[in-house]
Amino acid sequence: VFGGCITMKEILFTPQPVDKIIADLAIVPIFEDVRPLGGVAGLVDWRMNGQLSEFLLEHRFTGEFEEALLMPTRGRIKAKQLILLGVGTREAFTDYLLPAVYRRLLNLVANKGETTFSFCLSDLIQEKFEWRNAVRKFVSKLFDYDCDFQVTLSEDWTLIQEARRRHMDFGL
């Protein structure tokens, strides 16, 4: 491209848990009404010696929709920092909210100036068909940003295998 710059987007799918992924940031979605924490949030809370639960108990973080909290990992997981991202209540969460979640997540990452991050979509969208659509929406939202994102999606192995079996490229 003459007179402009080219940005690269790289997405890696892995069954590795978020706590084992080397990245600048680990994005951890937290539902407002799911206690005790489960999924990725529960795993990260355990690795962080209950610090996420402590924030919730002290009302320093609630999981309210679009709420965010940046915190260091102090080497307890492979990512350098965590972004806790409130996604509202489990009952009210639908795929219609995904664009707003993605916008908030990517704005936080871009404004932080970091480009490598991990995230888990299957914690938000657990049904296979909806998961594939969620990935497509995520990929399209990535292209709204002039950043060289390197994303590692920590996903269930059966979802990754299904995507491979269907030769899905998700628009990349």
pLDDT for 115 equals 85
pLDDT for 3 equals 45
| Distance (Å, whole) CA 138 – CA 48 | 27
The count of residues in the chain is: 172
pLDDT for 163 equals 85
pLDDT for 20 equals 98
* Stretch 71-83: mean pLDDT: 97
* Stretch 129-156: mean pLDDT: 92
pLDDT for 127 equals 84
Of the pLDDT bands very low, low, confident and very high (cuts 50, 70, 90), residue 128 is confident
pLDDT for 6 equals 57
128-137 long-range contacts, CB within 8 A, separation 24+: 128/158, 128/159, 128/162, 130/95, 131/155, 131/159, 132/162, 132/163, 132/168, 133/95, 134/95, 134/98, 135/163, 135/168, 135/170, 136/170, 136/171, 137/95, 137/98, 137/99, 137/102
25-61: per-residue pLDDT in tens?
999 999 999 999 999 999 999 999 999 999 999 999 9
Convert 136-166 into a string of H (helix), E (strand) and C (coil): HHHHHHHCCCCCCCEEEEECCHHHHHHHHHC
pLDDT of 75 above 90? yes
pLDDT for 101 equals 97
pLDDT of 2 above 50? no
